[in-house]
A and B are shown apart, each in its own frame.
Chain A
């Protein structure tokens, strides 16, 4: 189990229990976190689960994979710490992870 905190655009925080093996996107959807649309359901095919990983967590979360890099072309305001949350697997090492949700997945 890993606590994952989703920080909304307006500053509201929602902390959800992530289960190892699930993705951060699935954790968000299961807990009805607003702002994670996940149109394609986790196939890395839509870029509507875009999050910004808080800088202190970037190393632990790791880098984007090449398919994700391509899909991020469909996201808006892509930054160094942008990730698609369907490509981040929850593990005990990510207990306490904090990610920001963009204003809109549009």
Chain B
């Protein structure tokens, strides 16, 4: 177990609302650690639609998910947020009167005074294709990510999918595996053209196989795969020998451990008030897509508003009795100093 990290606020989720929360809390001198299950900031904007234009961010007539993320990171930077990526918060408990303890699946422990849940649609998890019996092979022969390339050395590998993950791992693992087969439902790929060309060159050189079709069944024993049944576009089936399979069907969002934290939920969303965006547990707030209240709109701009109001109450919670002066960034030297612009 590593050392305990102590901070004012832990923000769960580094999507747009989590990132803007850093800014709003920073203006009130509250320091944040931010935890996210993805390997980079941006949440859905980074994972689901980095290249898609967003048209409804005030004052930005058009911005992509990736650009919005980098601008929010720039805006939050003066407040020196500490990010912890590839981590899922597994437990959240109240300790004593004023402290929360959080632990992650990466064995980090946080102590903080306020928790902000900005977890959007929940935790991103790899999509698991509902092939009958696949559970028995997971972790032994079926993997949803590559943690160590060496684990695939000398294997007969079947990669399923047509995006960047599928193509990158096909190309990267091909030199060390015994045999490589890429399976995709059509002969068109969304992955970067360079990776697709490289894969096609490997196929042309006889170094790997490309099959068009979908997996319908798996065979093996004791969690070890021996072959996959593949149905081709023409309806015919064939068995492909493999002892490792990597399905890359993207990520989906699951609420995950949030439901175990004693928070009032309404249809899998966290119920909050509309003054402070606080949950039923004082000191735990929820902003953005994960919260609900009468009239809630799941828009990024709603999350920004929620973050600003929530920050006020977070300040009062952490500094009871202290007067909070409302200030504008345009005129307050104090705020401008915090932003590092004067």
Contact = CB atoms under 8 A, between A and B. Distances in A.
Interface size range on B against A: 20 to 34
Contacts of B162: 73
Q: Is the interface of B mostly helix, strand, loop or mixed?
A: loop
B3 to A, nearest CB: 36
Contacts of A43: 48-49, 52
Nearest to B65: A45
B121 A74 contact: no
A74 B253 contact: no
Interface in A20-55: 37, 39-41, 43, 45-48
Contact of A45 (B48, B127, B128, B130): B48
A10 B216 CA distance: 19
A92 B324 CA distance: 56
Contacts of B250: 46-47, 74
Nearest to B162: A73
A71 B128 CA distance: 16
Contact of A73 (B52, B161, B252, B253): B161
B94 interface: no
Nearest to B253: A39
B63 to A, nearest CB: 14
Interface size range on A against B: 20 to 34
Contacts of A105: 252
B190 interface: yes
Given A48-B252, A106-B249, A106-B252, A74 B127 contact: yes
A76 B121 contact: no
A44 B2 CA distance: 41
A104 B249 CA distance: 13
A73 B247 CA distance: 11
Interface of B: 44, 48-49, 52, 121, 127-130, 161-163, 184-186, 190, 214, 249-250, 252-253, 298
23 contacts: A39-B48, A39-B252, A39-B253, A40-B44, A40-B48, A40-B49, A43-B52, A45-B44, A45-B48, A45-B49, A46-B252, A73-B162, A73-B184, A73-B185, A73-B190, A74-B127, A74-B250, A76-B129, A77-B130, A77-B214, A78-B185, A105-B252, A106-B130
